[in-house]
Amino acid sequence: MGIAWVLSGVFGLILGILAGMNEGSILDRIIKSYSFILASTPAFWFGLLVLMVFAAWLNWFPVGLAAPAGSLRGEVSLADTFKHLFLPVLTLSIGGVASIALHTREKMIEVLSSEFIRFARAKGLSGMRLFWRHGLRNISLPAISLHFASFGELFGGAVLTEQVFSYPGLGQAVVRAGLGGDIPLLLGITLFSVVFIFVGNFMADLLYVVIDPRMKTKQAHD
């Protein structure tokens, strides 16, 4: 979940920037179509598709589990761990890209049509120089808010993805606790999920100040 969360945020931001800076182009239409399709695709269905292609047809990766069947913990190499981790991470990260990419695209278009960008262009700035100086900071804050809002999912896990890949995780633990009436375990996971959400929002607030120092000045005045 942690790896997928990072990858979805990075690639979602990049795709959203590319689409926003090339509004109406073929690249923009491709990224929008890709994002809309992913946003409407259930994670378990995409996981089954990934399994069918990469595990069943191409035989590049194992079908499931977190380690080779029948192996002891000390016998599992780092390469085996990554091979079993690749498909679940691919499923979760590709699915998480859509919302970040679409949101960043809309914000990028809004920023590029603003008055201060027109003023910067009048001063001779253009292309990546214009983006780095005036665009990136303004689109980063909303993307961070949206992305860190899902930080609590890092603790809860992805139930359907874990089920498809038979990957042990807290998502399945929640289901077993609920079906088995294990109230202490269920309450413990819920409590720590709330803590993770709080930590995610707190980290987002800290990043706001790092990205835009003006917010620190505003908070000081408040």
The pLDDT score that the predictor gives to residue 26 is 92
Q: Which CATH class is domain 2-221?
A: mainly alpha
User: Mean pLDDT over residues 148-166, rounded?
Assistant: 70
Question: pLDDT-based confidence at 159, cuts 50/70/90?
Answer: confident
Q: How far apart are CA 179 and CA 186, in angstroms?
A: 10
- Decide: helix, strand or coil at residue 60: coil
Q: Strand runs (DSSP E) across 24-107, as ranges?
A: none
Do 90 and 191 contact (CB within 8 A), yes or no? no
In degrees and rounded to multiples of 5, residue 64 shows phi and psi of -170, -165
Entry pTM: 0.76
| 36/119 Cα distance (integer angstroms) | 33
CA distances, 128 to each of 43, 125, 134, 137 (Å): 35, 9, 10, 13
Q: pLDDT (tens digit, 9 = 90+) per residue, 69-94? A: 666 666 777 777 788 888 888 888 88
Q: What is the pLDDT of residues 1-41, one digit of tens each?
A: 778 888 888 888 888 888 888 888 898 899 889 888 888 88
Angle, in degrees to the nearest 10, between helices 26-39 and 78-112: 120
**pLDDT digits over 172-189, tens only?**
777 788 888 888 888 888
pLDDT band at 154 (very low <50, low <70, confident <90, very high): low
The 10s digit of each residue's pLDDT in 188-219 is: 888 887 887 788 778 877 877 777 666 555 55
Nearest by Cα to 46 from 161, 123, 133: 161
The amino acid present at 83, given as its one-letter code, is K
d(CA 152, CA 201): 10
Q: What is the pLDDT of residue 218?
A: 53
Do residues 110 and 28 make contact, with C-beta atoms less than 8 angstroms apart? no
12, amino acid identity: G
Residue-wise pLDDT for 108-144, tens only, equals: 888 877 777 777 777 776 666 666 766 677 777 777 7
Q: Using DSSP, state whether 95 is helix, strand or coil.
A: helix
Q: How many angstroms separate the CA atoms of 10 and 101, rounded?
A: 10
CB 159 within 8 A of CB 172: yes
